[in-house]
Structure 1
């Protein structure tokens, strides 16, 4: 099992890995979750998949087991910035505007994690290990990019696994139902991960 952080600058070094990640996202979000999202050539994508973002892939022999996208809160692409902020600004009808307790930050030391998934066909016996690899690489990559905090909109059962992953997480917004799943914005403090 490997973890790789992909970017527009290095994707050419990893063969089909980036395309496979977007294919796995399509399977997870469009086929499994039945979300109405853009797709092309068997891949899911959105307005936040820009050169500003990074993508963490957990993979084995080219097969994607899990993934996550990191986007700086300073990102801009037309009217869009990052998903949580754009939802608060009313640009994303599928996510409630009151998802955060405070105004969405725009700060070079805060990044957003989004499009988090573990592939549905990842064997149950290795899911915990895959999740650990994903969180470890996400944390390392975010720190390497200068992040002190990561915001994420994740399932509201996060307190159950946060301690297992050794993450310092606090709620940054209310619990809300999105697509029949309770979700919540959280802030992950990476300053405790400084070495």
Structure 2
């Protein structure tokens, strides 16, 4: 296993343009690992590998053409942006309830595991206080939204709608400062859980948003 070199910015610009053209036909689907008749989840893992490993140069392990890790499990819920006209996955994210514990009891969820020093590369200072274990608190990670399109708001809106139906109170995020600003622009009261950190992959932080019931106004 190796890590490909980071691809050029020109390819990211092309990806943004492609998503903008196909956005009118894009629907964000809630997909569970045990109910994925169109095999959208493997396609999302392939997109993650292209974006995070090839485009952004993240030093994360991958299996052939898939970027997949311990937080991709039977309990994970995926929000997948799917082109309903031409086909193909254009973006997405994953959700995991904060009460999740792996079968061998070594893994919980990303923010909590980082806080307890279990994730090399993400410092324990990601949060100022101990991250919760709570049935009505979920975590959203691995978002692919392409910053120059309106895909991010569609994914966040879909996440809020799903969490509201599930009776969730709060969602925790591990993402970029730009993603937190986007959430605030949509009316979410995003609160930083710790400082902004930086590494060779970019700037990131943990933050939280309360779930809207009903959801905020439509995304235009």
TM range (shorter): 0.7 to 0.9
- From the superposition, tell whether residues 159 and 46 of structure 1 become closer, same or farther in structure 2 (CA, over 3 Å): closer
Structure 2 matches for 1:40-59, cutoff 5 A?
Answer: 40-59=63-82
Number of aligned residue pairs: give it.
186
- From the superposition, tell whether residues 159 and 3 of structure 1 become closer, same or farther in structure 2 (CA, over 3 Å): closer
Residue of structure 2 equivalent to 1:167: 188
Which has the higher mean CA deviation after the structures are superposed, 32-41 or 136-145? 32-41
* Match for residue 121 of structure 2 among 94, 115, 137: 94
Structure 2 matches for 1:56-71, cutoff 5 A?
Answer: 56-60=79-83, 61-71=86-96
* Match for residue 10 of structure 1 among 32, 35, 39: 35
* Match for residue 107 of structure 2 among 62, 77, 80: 80
SS at match of 2:156: helix
- Structure 1: any 5+ residue segments left out of the alignment? none
- Structure 2: any 5+ residue segments left out of the alignment? 1-25, 216-220
Structure 2 matches for 1:114-153, cutoff 5 A?
Answer: 114-118=141-145, 124=148, 127-128=149-150, 130-153=151-174
SS at match of 2:78: strand
Residue of structure 2 equivalent to 1:24: 47
Q: CA deviation at 1:158?
A: 4.1
- From the superposition, tell whether residues 59 and 152 of structure 1 become closer, same or farther in structure 2 (CA, over 3 Å): same
Whose radius of gyration is greater, 1 or 2? 2
TM score, norm. by length of structure 2: 0.78
Q: Deviations over 1:96-126 (max 9, x none)?
A: 1111011011000100000011259xxx4xx
RMSD over equivalenced CA pairs, Å: 1.8
Normalized per residue, the structure richer in strand is 1
